[in-house]
Amino acid sequence: MQKLLSVLAIAILGLALVIGVACGGGDEDNETGQAQIGDAVKVHYTGTLDDGTVFDSSLERDPLEFTIGEGKLIPGFEEAVIGMSEGESKTVEIPADKAYPYNEELVFVVDRDQLQPDLQPEVGQQLQFQREDGQIVIFTVIDVSELSVTLDGNHPLAGKDLTFEIQLVEIL
């Protein structure tokens, strides 16, 4: 009877091991060879605007390292990396709403007398302000009149569709 129970226990343990492996249990590493949510990855990229202007590239520096799903990058970029394999390259177009959506609430008009008297604002100029919590915020001047200045606190790429050439260098 003892021998039968031992054989039965070994058989059950073996079956549990087979089921665990078949269901992805056990080793938590990515065994699919494709990037998935939760994976730390390294990528090289080049970002361009619709007119072909390059606004950023990692090709002259170390690859960008991030964990998919942490939300530290624009959503469309993270989504594009999901399913890629090491060494794979692709080009993806990311609409503004999945990159930097434009927020009208970040545009406001300031009376010129609220600015430093020696400041001569010009359209396109970037101004830095320090918030009460010490954080520096940057605004772009989008309109200037005799009495006021219109400032835009949106990201410089807000409202623009972006194209990225992405190469998955490594799944860590």
Active site residue 102: no
Amino acid at 9: A
Residue among 39, 77, 94, 100 flagged as catalytic = 100
Range of 5's domain?
1-31
| Co-location of 96 and 163 in the same domain | yes
Count how many domains the chain has.
Answer: 3
Residue among 37, 50, 55, 138 flagged as catalytic = 55
Predicted local confidence at residue 27, as pLDDT: 38
| Co-location of 89 and 47 in the same domain | yes
Q: How confident is the model at residue 129 (pLDDT cuts 50, 70, 90)?
A: confident
H helical segments located in the chain: 2-22, 75-81
Q: How confident is the model at residue 30 (pLDDT cuts 50, 70, 90)?
A: low
Instruction: Average the pLDDT over 65-86 and give the result.
Output: 97
Dist CA 159 CA 98 (whole Å): 10
| Co-location of 49 and 114 in the same domain | no
Q: How confident is the model at residue 96 (pLDDT cuts 50, 70, 90)?
A: very high
Which candidate, 136, 31, 122, 129, places its Cα nearest to that of 85? 31
Residue among 56, 97, 129, 138 flagged as catalytic = 56
Predicted local confidence at residue 29, as pLDDT: 59
| Co-location of 5 and 82 in the same domain | no
CATH of the domain at 129: 2.40.10.330
What does 32-70 look like in DSSP terms, one character per residue? SSB--TT-EEEEEEEEE-TT--EEEE-TTSPPEEEETTS
Q: Is it the case that residue 162 has pLDDT exceeding 90?
A: yes
